[in-house]
Amino acid sequence: MPLLVVGSVGLDSIETPHGKVEEVLGGSAVYFSWAANFFTPVRLVGVVGNDFPKHYRELLSKRSIDTAGLKELEGKTFRWRGRYQGTMHSATTLSVELNVFGQYEPRIPETFRDSRFVFLANGLPSLQQRVLEQMKGPEFVAADTMNHWINEKKAELLEVLKRIDALILNDEEARQLTGESNLIKAARRLQAIGPKYIIIKKGEHGAVLTTPEGFFLMPGFPTENVKDPTGAGDSFAGGLMGYLAKKKVVTEGTLKQAIVYGTIIASFNVEDFSIQQLQRITLEDIEERRRKFEAMVRFH
Amino acid sequence: MPLLVVGSVGLDSIETPHGKVEEVLGGSAVYFSWAANFFTPVRLVGVVGNDFPKHYRELLSKRSIDTAGLKELEGKTFRWRGRYQGTMHSATTLSVELNVFGQYEPRIPETFRDSRFVFLANGLPSLQQRVLEQMKGPEFVAADTMNHWINEKKAELLEVLKRIDALILNDEEARQLTGESNLIKAARRLQAIGPKYIIIKKGEHGAVLTTPEGFFLMPGFPTENVKDPTGAGDSFAGGLMGYLAKKKVVTEGTLKQAIVYGTIIASFNVEDFSIQQLQRITLEDIEERRRKFEAMVRFH
């Protein structure tokens, strides 16, 4: 089932207690696409500058990631520089250069508009809205957001929530958006605004899912060697949406399994910088870790 | 199967965002006993002063909690005053009066020495050691500890670890005791010291269990109405040990189920001050919530 993602493509410079990299391939749409592509072809929509290394574009195209929607504009590519310290719970942004991403107005290629599954990566809510307006009635739309938009563009964000099927966000964002510290109550409030499904990520502590029928809890995979947390959220969303697009139907059951796959792929992603670890692994590695994980969380 | 607990019995004065109580029944051995008693008779060993309200002792005796080991000494009962604020993650101790608990030297009644299951609640490690010396080869001994003993009595604590089957502690304590931030690695180090089973509590995020064969993850029960977190850890341990003592055998399977019961009982305990909510509920309430919880964590 065609899966479309609209998000950032950029060059990241990252420092963690385990190493340092300069201008590696990054951005929400990249992590998402690579993760989702274990299950399904992906259509990537984003923008880069004319300094974007050719081999990065080729890297994406060699997989079944369609980069026809990856526009190249005159100027520089989006750049982010960040540092993780100590327990690496959150990054300190050292610098952000929006560059061509700053004036970006996503135009969905005609051939992509029939995509049945759509993921709106974290971005300006009004821009997420305009992406949806170009789509031809997708079956399942999920979106991510972040604290910045909750603070600055709450009204626009609430408009987006009315038009999507699933919201994927972290626990802090859920609390901030609803003013409710209890996650169950926060999830129910978000559901009342619009999305049928709320997926709250709790980092190493796993995720919770609320559906119209129930509430589900899932521990995180206990990764022993975290090298760089960048892209954990986007690779989680990619694994999740990729699995759903492959299954073609969204039910409580497929969604729960999708969260397991998202968790597993994110656990690989953080084991190295950029998408390096995701480039090394195969679907068989994912299945092996998934079986291990399912045994860890089985309590009968 | 007879289950013995040695720990504190005291009078707590507690303030949380949801209310305030003065000199209510508290102490690790009380929370533990009440929780364990849903499954098995409990033998309580501890000390109170001669100001200990008679109705509190009667309250315990009315259940099948044997208070023959609850010694009354001339003087005042142990008192603790604490406050929880905001998300109530941890208490601020406003005052502690050890009183008779300060000079306490536990003597296990002759009739209690054959107890097959033993729980050493948080306390001075040398004292935990002397309890064990009085026992006639128990089958399964679990112990709790806290940051204070890890800082002040580490050598003695390590000696205790060599003699117990299971250590129950929280994530911060596991990290502090091993110097290892990764919980899997911390648990493995603790196992290498002695205990076959390590149970690490992560508060609202659940618990992890390491056995000689494996590693298990369990989310916390998503309680919507936390009124007072006091006793969460001890009621968890009580539910866990009570269930094991009832089952009579400790296997990976019974231990996993025991952690589920501990989680459920702790989730009730925090819904009111002291043991008030535990006094209201029945085993049927526990089973009902357990079924709900198991449905929440089932991912197939």
Minimum mean pLDDT range among A102-106, A107-111, B253-257: A102-106
User: Cα distance from B220 to chain A (closest Cα, Å)?
Assistant: 8
Query: Who among A205, A215, A224 is closest to B182 (CB)?
Result: A224
Q: Is B137 left (phi over 0), alpha (psi -120 to 50) or beta?
A: left
Q: Which residues of A touch B299 (CB under 8 A)?
A: 216, 218, 256-257, 259-260, 294, 297
CB atoms within 10 A of CB B51: 14
CA dihedral A45, A51, A53, A56 (to 10 degrees): -10
> Quick one: average pLDDT of A196-221?
93
CB contacts of A174 in chain B (<8 Å) are none
Chain A CB contacts of B256 under 8 Å are: 299-300
- Mean pLDDT for B144-165 is 94
Work out the percent of chain A whose per-residue pLDDT is above 90: 86
Q: Quick one: pLDDT at residue A300? A: 66
What is the per-residue DSSP string for A126-156?
Answer: HHHHHHHHHSS--SEEEEE--HHHHHH-HHH
Whether residues B219 and A222 touch (CB distance < 8 A) is answered with no
Mean pLDDT score of chain B, rounded to an integer? 94
**How many Cβ contacts (< 8 angstroms) between chains A and B?**
77
pLDDT category of residue A79 using cuts at 50, 70 and 90 = very high
Interface of A with B (CB under 8 A): 87, 181-185, 202, 205-206, 208, 214-220, 222, 224, 253, 256-257, 259-260, 294-297, 299-300
Q: Is the dihedral of CA A283, A288, A294, A296 positive or negative?
A: negative
SS3 sequence of B182-246: CHHHHHHHHHHHCCCEEEEECHHHCEEEECCCCEEEECCCCCCCCCCCCCHHHHHHHHHHHHHHH
Q: Cα separation of A51 and A73, whole Å? A: 9
Residue A88 is predicted with a pLDDT of: 83
pLDDT over 70 at A80, yes or no:
yes
Closest residue to B299, CB basis, from A208, A222, A257: A257
What is the C-alpha radius of gyration for chain A, rounded to an integer number of angstroms?
18
Average pLDDT over residues B5-22: 96
Q: Report yes or no: B242 and B283 within 8 Å, Cβ to Cβ.
A: no
A150: number of Cβ within 10 Å: 20
pTM to 2 decimal places: 0.88
Say yes or no for a CB contact (<8 Å) between A218 and B294: no
- Chain A residues inside the 8 Å CB shell of B217: 206, 219-220, 222, 296-297
> SS3 of A91, please?
strand
ipTM metric: 0.80
What pLDDT is attached to residue A86?
A: 82
**pLDDT band at B224, cuts 50/70/90?**
confident
Is the pLDDT at A25 greater than 70? The verdict is yes
Checking if the pLDDT of B36 tops 80, the result is yes
* pLDDT given at position B90: 84
Whether B265 contacts B240, CB under 8 Å: no
A147/chain B closest Cα distance in angstroms: 20
For chain A, give the mean pLDDT: 94
In this structure, what token pair is assigned to residue B289?
């919530």
pLDDT of amino acid A267: 96
State the Cα–Cα distance between residues B210 and B299, nearest whole angstrom: 21
Q: How confident is the model at residue B1 (pLDDT cuts 50, 70, 90)?
A: confident
Residue for token digits 């977190």? Answer: B229
Among the partner-chain residues B215, B222, B297, the one whose CB lies closest to the CB of A222 is: B215
Which of B217, B263, B292 would best serve as a mutation to test chain A binding (most A beta carbons within 10 A)?
B217
Looking at the predicted structure, is the pLDDT value of residue A61 above 90?
no
CA–CA min distance B66, chain A (Å): 32
CATH code, domain with B12: 3.40.1190.20
Range of the domain at B172: 3-296
> Residues of B near A (CB-CB distance < 8 A)?
87, 181-185, 202, 205-206, 208, 214-220, 222, 224, 253, 256-257, 259-260, 294-297, 299-300
- Judged against a pLDDT cut of 70, whether residue B174 lies above it is answered with yes
Residue B218: list chain A partners with CB under 8 A.
219, 297, 299
Q: How many structural domains does chain A have?
A: 1
Return the pLDDT at A224: 82
User: Edge-to-edge, what's the strand order for the sheet holding A19-26?
Assistant: A19-26, A10-16, A78-84, A91-97
Which pair of tokens denotes residue A167? 């919201």
Instruction: Tell me if A216 and B182 make a contact (CB, 8 A cut-off).
Output: no
Residue with tokens 């499954």: B39
Among B181, B218, B222, whose Cβ lies nearest the Cβ of A183? B222
For testing contact with chain A, the best of B85, B299, B300 (most A CBs within 10 A): B299
Q: What is the pLDDT of residues A158-207, one digit of tens each?
A: 999 999 999 999 999 999 999 998 888 999 999 999 999 999 999 888 99
| Confidence class for position B300, pLDDT limits 50, 70, 90 | low
The average pLDDT across A220-224 equals 88
Asked if B256's CB is within 8 angstroms of A224's CB, the reply is no
Would you state the pLDDT for residue B298? 85
